[in-house]
Amino acid sequence: MFSTASNPKVAIAAMAAMKPQLATMDELFSTSPRETLEMGEGLFWEGDRAQHIFEITEGVLRIFKIIADGRRVITGFLYAGDMVGLSLKNVYLYSAEAVTPVKVRRLTRKAFQDAIENSPELRPQLFSLMCDEMAAAQDQMVLLSRKSAEERLCSFLMMLGQRQSGQTQMPKTIQLAMSRQDMADYLGLTIETVSRTVTKLIQRGIITPNGRHAFDLTKPGKLLALCGDGDSYEDVGDPAVKTRQAVWPH
Amino acid sequence: MFSTASNPKVAIAAMAAMKPQLATMDELFSTSPRETLEMGEGLFWEGDRAQHIFEITEGVLRIFKIIADGRRVITGFLYAGDMVGLSLKNVYLYSAEAVTPVKVRRLTRKAFQDAIENSPELRPQLFSLMCDEMAAAQDQMVLLSRKSAEERLCSFLMMLGQRQSGQTQMPKTIQLAMSRQDMADYLGLTIETVSRTVTKLIQRGIITPNGRHAFDLTKPGKLLALCGDGDSYEDVGDPAVKTRQAVWPH
DNA sequence: TTATGATGTTACAAACTGTTACACGATTTC
DNA sequence: GAAATCGTGTAACAGTTTGTAACATCATAA
């Protein structure tokens, strides 16, 4: 199946790749028109036929599932530059709604797959994206599995801060695009517990409310310490100690 | 960057791919020797330099992270045929230990990446694998975020059943390779809660103990009903209703 | 067989989070 | 501009899950 220029399929692919010379994911979507979503509007629903991949150009999107009794679980928030809809299944595995007004561009799954398959530049980028997504999912599992309400809140604020600062140091102010209910459904808490915990953090002077949907980081160091993921590596030492079990002081 | 046979890199890659004609992930590892892990032995640790990708040939592996206070979160169990160590980072993002005696085969990351990059057969398979992993991670987030202890247990047993039956219908008996503590750390519960919940399911006649590490499915229908993920799609209807919000009866 | 340690089970009190109810302010609607 | 609605904050109470401890069971070795 793999061949050289004598295979017309490869030759065509090569030519296709030469024309726009796609080097970034963003360029892939550059020919698509921008579409607008109002606040609260849905982009697609769990179970819909998955025909497109989307790139977010502006705004914040929430990804969620609904289970029995109407319980909602938000599995992620997506910001400008992120992509949604990646999957091999024929239906979307989750729903997507606009948290704020949102602008997206879309590509058919086929166009996307062809572009990836024909671009040795794009493939590692896609792989990298998926790995990052997987790492984020695992961190979220840790949060939901073993962290207290306070640790969840602090972790969430730290994540938002890092995302807004773009990998540099923490910003002074953290913007919350989403409602308390969205936060609760993302953190596996109720809205009341979110409220209580936020109040406690404010009373302890760790954050200061700045309008209804933003916080100033008064003590960013404290916030980091309260995330609960310190010292992960502390006792992971000599790999030569083969039969060591994880220490579990229960 | 994309070219035809005039590019020696591609030509070499083509030749390399022609020799073994790699069509499945399994074949990729077929030249590597099998390595053995004893029960409880570690394969790698979170923070180690990530130099290899592993394929599990036999046995069960647990993937986990440790956070502050020694709290452990098992993010997954891996069985024969699964791969571990996929990531773009230079260090492993989690630890891997043998739950049962395990056999693995390894490939350097570079060898793996080259093989993927040079095989249009393997790429979709890898993509598919990663998508499945992502879907499983999201299901796990739902479980950890909003399911009760009983729902978690039932979901876990169903998952094990499906894995053991190989996508066909539920088997009569479900084998538990792991300890109660492992189950607890995977389901976000304590070992006591796991015990109590298992006892309840037995008393209600839904499962029947079959030795210490296996259950017979007396009422598989009941078990499925208790998973808590029914009716996810029930009100996901007309995509034309654009501004519909998810119903959230709180 | 008996001893020993690891693993699993059960009971009870305690803690955290969820539930319910109501108050407040901002925005929208009429 | 008043009323209704929505999102949010606060409080008392209830409930599930946890933590602690004791006990039971199993596997292995003496």
- For residue A233, list chain B residues with Cβ-Cβ distance below 8 A: 46-47
Q: How far apart are CA B76 and CA B64, in angstroms?
A: 7
Distance B192 CA to D19 C1' (A): 10
| Residue B209: CB less than 7 A from any atom in strand D | no
Domain boundaries, chain B: 10-140, 148-225
DSSP state of A243: T
pLDDT reported for residue B17: 46
Percentage of residues in chain A having pLDDT higher than 90: 55
pLDDT reported for residue B11: 53
pLDDT reported for residue A8: 52
Which of B5, B93, B232 lies at the smallest CB-CB distance from A135?
B93
Q: How far apart are CA B239 and CA A43, in angstroms?
A: 9
Percentage of residues in chain A having pLDDT higher than 70: 82
Among all strands, which nt has the closest C1' to B211 (CA)? D26
DSSP state of A145: H
Is B193's pLDDT higher than 80? yes
Q: How far apart are CA B111 and CA B20, in angstroms?
A: 14
**Model ipTM?**
0.83
The topology (CATH level 3) of B148-225 is: Arc Repressor Mutant, subunit A (1.10.10)
Average pLDDT, chain A: 83
Full strand arrangement of the beta sheet holding A207-209: A173-175, A214-217, A207-209
CATH 2.60.120.10 for the A8-140 domain, yes or no: yes
Distance B67 CA to D2 C1' (A): 55
- Mean pLDDT calculated for residue range B110-117: 92
**Which amino acid is located at B41 in the chain?**
E
Which of B40, B232, B236 lies at the smallest CB-CB distance from A245?
B40
Q: Is B65 helix (H, G, I), strand (E, B) or coil?
A: strand
Is A246's pLDDT higher than 50? no
- Mean pLDDT calculated for residue range B122-143: 93
Tokens 């169990």 sit at which residue?
B77
Q: How many CB atoms lie within 10 A of CB B200?
A: 13
If one compares A67 and A240, the residue with the highest pLDDT of the two is: A67
- Mean pLDDT calculated for residue range A191-218: 88
The topology (CATH level 3) of B10-140 is: Jelly Rolls (2.60.120)
**pLDDT bucket at A17, cuts 50 / 70 / 90:** very low
Q: How far apart are CA A101 and CA A43, in angstroms?
A: 12
Strand C bases near protein CB (under 7 Å) are: 7-11, 16-21
If one compares B71 and B244, the residue with the highest pLDDT of the two is: B71
- For residue A71, list chain B residues with Cβ-Cβ distance below 8 A: 146, 228
Which of A38, A127, A190 lies at the smallest CB-CB distance from B243?
A38
Distance from CA of A32 to the nearest CA of B (A): 21
Helix, strand, coil percentages (3-state) for chain B, rounded to 5, are 40, 20, 40
Q: How far apart are CA A45 and CA A94, in angstroms?
A: 6
pLDDT tens per residue, range A151-172: 999 999 999 998 888 766 778 8
Q: How many CB atoms lie within 10 A of CB A30?
A: 11
